[in-house]
Amino acid sequence: MKILVVGAEPRTLINFRGPLIRAMLAEGHEVSAAANGREPGTEAKLQQMGVSYYPIHIAHAGLNPLVDITTLLDLIRLIRRIKPDLVFSYTIKPVIYGGLAARFCGVKNIFSMIEGLGYAFMPWDSLIHVITSIIAKNLYRVGLLSSRKVFFLNPDDLEQFIKEGYVSRHRAVLLNGIGIDLEYFKKEQLSETSIIRFLMIARLIKDKGVREYINAARNIRARYQHVEFVLAGDLDQNPNSIRQEELDLWLKEGTIKYAGFIDDVRPLHRDCHVFILPSFYREGVPRTTLESMATGRAVITTDSTGCRETVNQAAGASGERIIKEGAGNLKFGRNGILVPVKDVDALVAAIEFFIDHPEQIEAMGRESRAYARERYDVHKVNARILQEMGLIDNNSNY
């Protein structure tokens, strides 16, 4: 079968979809890929895999009619040129315009993945946000019409799309995140140092909880000298992006150590003790958290869509037995702690728990690795995707 994979950014074809593409190739299928613009490093890796890459125009953010029409026309021309039997798209614009283009060209096998609902589904905070949200939601409705299956990464997104009529229940498929490569992200020994290091990796937008992280770091560093906070990620085109001046202030006051954008984040996970993501963004299941779990790191994150799925809330959470008085708004799981969204006091309490009980850093870290292996192994997730696409049979041991 000839398969076209459509993403927004070229590097995600390797970083996020690489194992899935390799699985498709291993089953004997011919795979082509398309994303925004040219990225020589990614193109070279795809070529080595035996994948043809085609650059198209996809704006990362915003709704510009001229740019989006260009995206649709690029995809129509590409699909007519390579004549794929199956089109698989992920992230909002590829899903919308990939679905429309494939439908226009008569492709029968159209599959889409919703990796999180993002800005368009956040509570409205401006007239522009209202307009953007309404347009995006209606485009979703049209773009998903011809998808045979729509993959979701968390139950909240799936139920919302069914309730609002974007997709019927029999076409909706719930996955355990996008999966994580447990061989690439190996379990790492905790650094033997007197410093306890907390890490956050995210796009620098306010909905990811960046400001909450900074405020918690300020609170902790004013009282503890042996604690460090690291922030990694790039400024974003999103309307809610952190401003450069704000980032410069944090660096000047020494609240955090800033790593910027890093393509290979494994050294960051290796050097940290606890991973923090205080997000209230409409996440799918945050990949950065899964990566940290795979390396054996305890997690602090929010009790919100997508994030709560990364903390194993099965019975037996060790932290519950030694929880401090006054921290009753924390939810302890086997591998980490859930805090309410936008609650800096709760975030501080969760951080202090690990400072006061360092033995739990290692114990919950082991549970993170076990939970990642049990639930988020990329090979298990990809097998489910291939089965739903009809590319392997349901009894395959892939």
Question: In this structure, are 141 and 10 located in the same domain?
Answer: yes
Give the pLDDT confidence score for residue 325 in this predicted structure: 42
Summarised one tens digit per residue, pLDDT across range 8-38 is 999 999 999 999 999 999 999 999 999 999 9
In whole angstroms, what is the distance from residue 119 CA to residue 110 CA? 25
> How does 33-48 read in b/e, with b if 16+ C-beta sit within 10 Å?
bbbbeebeebbebbee
In whole angstroms, what is the distance from residue 152 CA to residue 380 CA? 15
The number of beta carbons lying within 10 Å of the beta carbon of residue 28 is: 8
Question: In this structure, are 175 and 37 located in the same domain?
Answer: yes
* pLDDT band, very low/low/confident/very high, at 121 (cuts 50, 70, 90): confident
Query: Are 331 and 303 a contacting pair, CB within 8 Å?
Result: yes
Question: In this structure, are 143 and 274 located in the same domain?
Answer: no
Q: What are phi and psi of 196, to 5 degrees?
A: -100, 120
In whole angstroms, what is the distance from residue 56 CA to residue 70 CA? 9
| Residue 185 included in any domain | no
In whole angstroms, what is the distance from residue 281 CA to residue 205 CA? 9
| Residue 122 included in any domain | yes
| Residue 184 included in any domain | no
In whole angstroms, what is the distance from residue 230 CA to residue 250 CA? 11
Summarised one tens digit per residue, pLDDT across range 254-268 is 999 999 999 899 999
| Residue 89 included in any domain | yes
Which residue stretches of 313-358 are H helix? 344-356
Helix (H) or strand (E) holding 284: none
Give the pLDDT confidence score for residue 131 in this predicted structure: 79
| Residue 266 included in any domain | yes
Summarised one tens digit per residue, pLDDT across range 221-233 is 999 999 999 999 9
- Tell whether pTM > 0.85: yes
The number of beta carbons lying within 10 Å of the beta carbon of residue 252 is: 8
Question: In this structure, are 174 and 212 located in the same domain?
Answer: no
What is the DSSP annotation of 191-211? P-SS-EEEEEE--BBGGGTHH
CATH number of the domain that residue 317 is part of: 3.40.50.2000
Boundaries of domain holding 272: 196-375
Question: In this structure, are 20 and 147 located in the same domain?
Answer: yes
Rounded average pLDDT over 285-304: 97
Question: In this structure, are 221 and 289 located in the same domain?
Answer: yes
Question: In this structure, are 358 and 381 located in the same domain?
Answer: no
Domain count along the chain = 2
Give the pLDDT confidence score for residue 281 in this predicted structure: 87
